[in-house]
Amino acid sequence: MNSSSRATGRTVLVAVRAMAVLTVVLGVGYTALITLVGQVALPGQANGSLLRGASGEVVGSSLIGQSFTDADGAALAQYFQTRPSAAGDGYDAGASSGSNLGPENADLVAAIEERTEVVAELEGVPESAVPADAVTASASGLDPDISPAYASIQVERVATARKLPVSEVRDLVAEYTRGPDLGYLGDPTVNVVELNLALDRLGG
């Protein structure tokens, strides 16, 4: 075997050893370290931000919206309603997407007009009072949040359906309203899944 072949062999051996070491360090060690840090420092987030019902069963995630409608798609009066979803049949985590329709698309315009009429009638407000997020889907189709304005027009309906004081429901909305991230990124939001779970715990 000449010197060139021996040098090539050594180079290949070094490369194989380096790959093996890096695979163990980065592929196994780093993954295990990050998993451990996540479980210790942020266990809720690391495990999917799961939400549990009164008896401890998992009822959803604070990161993924849910539809609060009956089998025919009609809004359940005792629950705050989420924004529309274009993900599968609605909030399907396996089919996350928006409608991909432009603002001048005739189908989208018609859908928004129809949704606006439905929301205005449901909440007993003029169509001009219906916020944009009540009639448009998010880009992911999974967004669990709505604007405080949309939550506000639903308070009286939910309070009436649950026979609760309007002030109590309004206070609950305020409790589940989050400000902008870091105090300045984005707008205030209300997590509908968490809010409706709190309502169920409250009763009515």
Average pLDDT by stretches of 10, the chain with 204 residues: 74 86 86 78 65 76 88 92 87 81 88 94 95 90 92 97 96 93 86 94 76
Residue 179 lies in a domain: yes
**pLDDT reported for residue 141:** 82
pLDDT score at 134: 94
Model pLDDT, residue 43:
63
* Same domain? 115 vs 171: yes
Q: 125 and 25: one domain?
A: no
pLDDT, residue 117, reads: 96
pLDDT of residue 82: 94
Residue 50 lies in a domain: no
**What pLDDT is stored for residue 97 in this prediction?**
77
Query: Which strand (E) or helix (H) includes residue 153?
Result: none
Whether 66 and 37 map to the same domain: the answer is no
Report whether 62 contacts 49 (CB < 8 A). yes
Relative to beta strand 50-52, strand 145-146 is unpaired
Answer yes or no: do 71 and 19 share one domain: no
pLDDT attached to residue 102: 84
pTM of the full predicted structure? Answer: 0.77
Look at residue 51 and tell me if it is in a domain: no
Helix ranges (DSSP H) in 63-186: 106-123, 148-152, 155-162, 166-175
Domain-located, residue 80: yes
Domain that holds residue 175: 62-202
Q: Report the domain count for the chain.
A: 2
Distance, in Å, from the CA atom of 93 to the CA atom of 187, rounded to the nearest integer, reads: 24
Same domain, 25 and 126: no
Is 57 inside a domain boundary? no
Same domain for 110 and 21: no
Is 55 inside any structural domain? no
Residues 6+ apart with CB under 8 A from 39: 46, 47
Q: Which of 76, 75, 46 is nearest to 63 (CA)?
A: 46
Spell out the residues 6+ positions from residue 133 whose beta carbon is closer than 8 angstroms to its own: 83, 146, 147, 150
